[in-house]
Chain A
Amino acid sequence: MENIIRGRVWKFGHNVDTDVMAPWSSLGQPWEERRKLVFHIRPEFVEQVRSGDIIVAGRNWGCGSSREHAPENLKRLGIAVVVAESFGRIYFRNSVAMAFPNIVCPGVHDAFDEGDEMELDLATAQVRNLTRGVELQGHPYASEMLSILEKGGLLNVLRERLAGQSEK
């Protein structure tokens, strides 16, 4: 996992929920169909997002359902990281399990405009707005979560555990 992430910012508001990120009608669809249905609140985002882009959001990003298609779809769209004021906790856990990074950073919503360049250190959660020259301190991941992210997700932790058992 790369610790330093740099990218162009897409900005979202508060309470963007999992049903918006992964509507029921999109579940189980092949990606090309799914892509047309996700984030219906902002069609231009899905059309124009590029691999390595970053999302800055307000409070409660990912509130709602336990469907992990929400972080999965963001990963598929090429989003490198979401930096938000706060997160829905199931979405946040699911993201850790799928090795998709999200950083809590108070003040981030006001510190960025759409199109600004961000540089983020995942290990320290230092957030820089390169366009404005502003620096913010996010909440670094606890070591328990960081180790899952670094291993590439919870299924890799399970693989390691199984390998350890078979060696015994």
Chain B
Amino acid sequence: MAMTMAEKILARASEARSLAAGEYVTATADRIMAHEAFGACARTLLQLGITRLFDPDRVVVILDHYFPAPTPAAAGIHRVVRQLAERFGIRHFLSHAGICHQVLSEWGYILPGHLVLGTDSHSTTYGAFGAGGTGIGLTEMSYVLATGELWMQVPPTIRFELVGEQSVGLMSKDIVLHIAGAFGTEVAQYRAIEFAGPVADRMSIASRMTMSNMGVELGAKFAFFVADEQTLAYLRERTDERLALFGPDPDATYAGVHEVDVNDLEPQVACPHNPGDVKPVSQVGDVGVDQAFLGSCTNGRLEDLAVAAQILKGRKVHPGTRFLITPASQQVYLEATAAGYIEVLLEAGAHITPAACGACPGAHMGVLGTGEVCISSTNRNFRGRMGSPEADIYLGSPATVAAAAVAGRIVDPREFWTETTLS
């Protein structure tokens, strides 16, 4: 029977020959990711008398949500995680290498066709590599760490065929925000997404990661791109595992197919307080910003910092605005430094923080106060997400964030980003 990517992954993970949407399975995870949550999960297991994990080598543990520790309590949790990771024999303990999804990807831990369960909703990011990544909570993670298994329902899949030409100044973030606005944040509720079409095929790995990351904001369980030659080339530099192209069967069954034409698409902005409240940047109105934040697992990668550096080159951050940049990983930070982007950004007046989740969930390094306005390259503008419930968060592409940092207000980034600036 012809299968979607979700059906193939769950069939393999549950040792079924074939599966169809709606069926329930017990699936075994190929890769298990836990951030600071590992501490609570491991404690739960010890309380149950469990001293050995199903397979410690499938598990990657990382400290990213509040690194470096902003409070003594946070430092205490980090200490416990370190101790318990050692006690349970976790070899892949990545300490503070950056944000989980970026680090697992750039270290070659995510392979096409694999099922990846993580204690973070943005585990859908792994779909950019043709992996079935999805987020779970502490209780389910405790169960998975002990048994390797989890019940899952096979989701129906919807396809977005991305067609047209992506013009200069338009980033993959704009496309996925456009989808959230046009189709709603429940278009993929209880479903999987496959992003396809010529625009998806041409997109960089980093840009694909942005769209898969935002899949969860569309309700999705998984948010895939096909693993193509570009994917394999990326992974070959990072792993010795055997790699193969991975995609859906040509005649797989879809719950819906939507064409998204990116021709003439304007940069998009999600307005407070929902990622689905999306407008073209020209219709957002006159919005001054106290903070511009560039970072997160959504948009803190090298190409995002490159765009910001292009826009800030020879310009200054607006005096009424603070521009905070949090690279998604130490590796990204290093590469951005080597490429000269960090120097350009510092000269322009931006502030660079250590690589971590930071301001995105309101942990630290850029928390918003009452009455403040932030334009952010992150994934969620929920009320209170980045600090005070009385702050307004707008979501945009790295280009839109960088342009706002210069202008002090939300503007069309194409004012600062033209064909010539990028050449």
Contact = CB atoms under 8 A, between A and B. Distances in A.
Interface stretch (A44-52, A84-92, A128-136): A84-92
B132 to A, nearest CB: 14
B139 A154 contact: yes
| Interface size range of chain B in the complex | 35 or more
Contact of B384 (A40, A148, A157): A40
Interface stretch (A2-10, A15-23, A106-114, A115-123): A15-23
A63 B137 contact: no
B185 interface: yes
Interface in B139-164: 139-140, 142-143, 146-147, 151, 153
A24 B366 CA distance: 14
Interface string B327-371: 000000000000000000000000000000000011100000000
A127 to B, nearest CB: 20
A94 B139 contact: yes
Given A65-B121, A154-B143, A93 B137 contact: yes
Interface in A125-168: 142, 144-145, 148, 153-155, 157-159, 161-162
B228 interface: no
B255 interface: no
A103 interface: no
Nearest to A71: B137
B48 A24 contact: no
Given A24-B362, A88-B219, A144-B24, A15 B143 contact: no
12 contacts: A17-B380, A20-B382, A23-B389, A60-B186, A68-B139, A86-B189, A89-B190, A97-B139, A144-B151, A144-B153, A153-B139, A158-B143
Interface of B: 24, 44, 48-50, 73, 77, 119-121, 135-140, 142-143, 146-147, 151, 153, 185-186, 189-190, 216-217, 219, 221, 274, 276, 361-363, 380, 382-385, 389
